[in-house]
Chain A
Amino acid sequence: MSQAPASGSIPDSTALETGASEPGARRPYLTRTRMAAVLGALTLVLIVVCAAAVMFGSVPVDFTRAIADRTSPDHAILFAARMPRVLMGAVVGAILAAVGAALQALVRNPLAEGGTLGISSGAAFGAILAIVLTYRFGGGSAIVPAAGFAAALISTLAVYRLGQMHGRVEPFTLLLVGVIFNTFWSALILLINSLVNLYQTRSILFWLVGSLEAPTYGEVAAVSALGAAGFVWLGWHARDMNLLSLGDEPAHDLGVDVDGARRAIFIATSLMIGGAVSVSGMIGFVGLIVPHILRLAFGADHRLLLPASFLGGAAFLVAADLAARVAIAPAEIPVGVITALCGGPFFIYLLRREGHRGIAV
């Protein structure tokens, strides 16, 4: 920290990367130019991926006809089926990855994400309970996402409360409590699954695997609003995340309201995850691998990592969903299967190549 930062760099005492202890591994300081370059490149990738996802699908589309004739099937395929799905993929992917990056910093553990902290499965439980109850007693279709969202919040608050020891949040305890909640919710989901009729078990599986099938523009708008609000809130705390990665004591000494920042990050992430899971189910792996890959590539400064995860997660899930749509067209593969199949091996490859250096949060 004694070196003078290059001119034009963002002044921040945490420009150090926690994992980069050996001199050769030190990455350049986060300068405005570098930030703009990385985020610009990722934005470009996202635009290219989205363009490809709109161009290709399970059936070919005549684009001139789609735009000229509003009553044509081409128009419906493009604007009623494909576009909302691409948009939803982008929003959900962005949320999952950004939340993963934030939670990994929050609990200082590379395994943290919405799934391992029990937030996603809480949301899925709420949604599934609502499916079963509306099946039995009736009710509008908006109840299901609303219940998923409410359950995500409740689950997060419970994990947060129970993760505290003597009034202070213990990251390790928090992660353990989250893992146990995840198991607990999953058990409740399987309990419901064994009590309902055969036809409903299909809907339940749908939530467990995760899918971007047939979203409405209304849902896209609602989740986007939640995602944007949560993302701004997280961005506000990016600096705190850098310091929290060092440990509670150093962070406190460097002027962070540790508990306050942690609470804010936790609530923001649960809002975002609740929204995402309530419409797309539990899509795994995005929150885990995207932040890690970007951390390996661009370092662990959250002022860059958060927006990079946001863009990278969006591109990754849109690309995975494109594969899910075209691989065995006109049938579909659940997108969660693709994210795990492609993401897992690639992640291991990066891990083996880079060693543990880049994984440290």
Chain B
Amino acid sequence: MLTLILCLGAARAEPGSAQRIVSLAPSTTETLFAVGAGPQVVGVSQYCDYPPQVLRLPKVGSFLTPNLEAIVGLRPTLIVGLDTSANDREIRALQRMGYRMLLVNDDSLEGIEDGIRNIGVQTGHGAQARRLIESMRTKMAAVRERLKGAPKRKVLMVVGHDPLVAVGGGYLNQLLQMADCVNIGAGFGSQWPRLSMEYIIAAAPDVILDGQMGTDPATPSGFWSRYRTIPAVRNHRVLGYDQNPVLRPGPRVAQTLRILAELTHPALFAGTAPRGGAGARL
């Protein structure tokens, strides 16, 4: 349902190993490689950096501004992108030219699963896609199992504090809920709300996850330490996270759930090998 399949000129290519695939977003690139369609990928967006071998592939611009000429030059038989860009000028132009396009949704966990399933089917790797989804579900269930009976944590998760863009909805909000967190950014009708500092102080989160900390260890202490009444600041629970994979709505969401659960409920994961992501502390 959530996935939009646009098969224009579908006769051009049949699914199989002869496909030449161009991927327009980091998350769809990850999915293509995760379902085993990696060898068929001939071009990726400039933001794609996972798995590492995509760094060697030709770049076709970003998913905000795909480069038509570069895409056409790669003679793709399938172009995979995000449905949020369905109305973009470049996407419509590619459709008019008759390219087979697969635009998937990555706004929710359900959308991500649908996207993986569809990418699998369209590239002739349906079985691998099903196994991938199964293994993601198993990993996530394992994290849920470990969290059983855990106290709810009030959490603020921001992409960065300059500006303060918070996680309000989408798959990250779902993952936070699965990690037994109450997301203080949720419920304002926006997937990425810009919250006011006053509200954050009043909401008093127990944990603050700040994506800007991983990259800029000097700033956050200066930024957050002004607000000592926030429990997260007082108790040194302002934590960084690695934006890659956390901000990638693709097959690594299970890993992201594990990272979020470890950061918000460290006691329950003590003694287990960290799966990465735990960044600098305030």
Q: Which A residues are closer than 8 A to B by beta carbons? A: 57-59, 71-73, 75-77, 80-82, 85, 134-135, 138-141, 194, 197-199, 202-203, 206, 211, 213-214, 216, 325, 329-332, 334
Contacts and interface: CB of A to CB of B under 8 A. Distances in A.
With most chain B CB atoms within 10 A of its CB, the pick from A75, A135, A202, A214 is A214
Nearest to A84: B226
Contacts of B165: 202
Interface in B181-225: 188, 190, 193-199, 201-204, 211, 215-219, 222-223
A15 to B, nearest CB: 47
Contacts of B161: 214
B159 A331 contact: no
Given A59-B202, A331-B193, A206 B162 contact: yes
Please name the 4 residue pairs, one residue from A and one from B, whose CB atoms are nearest each other, closest first.
A330-B199, A76-B229, A59-B202, A81-B197
Given A58-B196, A203-B163, A331-B188, A77 B218 contact: no
B248 to A, nearest CB: 11
Nearest to B229: A76
B196 A199 contact: no
A203 B164 CA distance: 10
Nearest to A71: B229
A197 B203 CA distance: 31
Given A72-B229, A134-B216, A330 B195 contact: yes
Interface residues of B, number: 38
B198 A202 contact: no
Contact of A213 (B164, B227, B229): B164
A197 B226 CA distance: 29
A210 B156 CA distance: 24
B33 interface: no
Given A80-B226, A141-B219, A216-B226, A199 B199 contact: no
A85 B204 CA distance: 20
Contacts of B194: 331-332, 334
B47 A197 contact: yes
Name, among B199, B215, B223, B243, the residue most crowded by chain A CB atoms within 10 Å (CB to CB): B199
A59 B211 CA distance: 25
Nearest to A143: B218
A236 B223 CA distance: 38
A10 B159 CA distance: 57
B229 A331 contact: no
A73 B195 CA distance: 16
A331 B162 contact: no
B247 interface: yes
Interface of B: 47, 62, 65, 159-165, 188, 190, 193-199, 201-204, 211, 215-219, 222-223, 226-230, 243, 247
Given A58-B196, A59-B198, A73-B201, A199 B211 contact: yes
A211 B197 CA distance: 13
Contacts of A211: 163
B219 A214 contact: no
Contacts of A140: 218-219
A71 B229 CA distance: 6
A225 B215 CA distance: 32
A297 B193 CA distance: 40
Contacts of B230: 73, 76
A332 B196 contact: yes
Contacts of A203: 160, 162-163
Which of B159, B193, B202, B215: most chain A CB closer than 10 A?
B202
A345 B65 CA distance: 34
A71 B15 CA distance: 64
Contacts of A202: 159-160, 163, 165
Contact of B247 (A77, A82, A138, A199): A199
A138 B218 contact: yes
Given A73-B229, A81-B227, A331-B188, A214 B201 contact: no
Nearest to A135: B215
Q: Which of A81, A85, A325 has the most CB of B within 10 A?
A: A81
Query: Of residues B165, B195, B229, B247, which shows the largest number of chain A Cβ atoms within 10 Å of its Cβ?
Result: B229
Given A73-B202, A330-B198, 12 more contacts: A58-B199, A59-B202, A72-B229, A75-B229, A80-B229, A81-B227, A82-B198, A85-B197, A140-B218, A199-B160, A330-B188, A330-B196
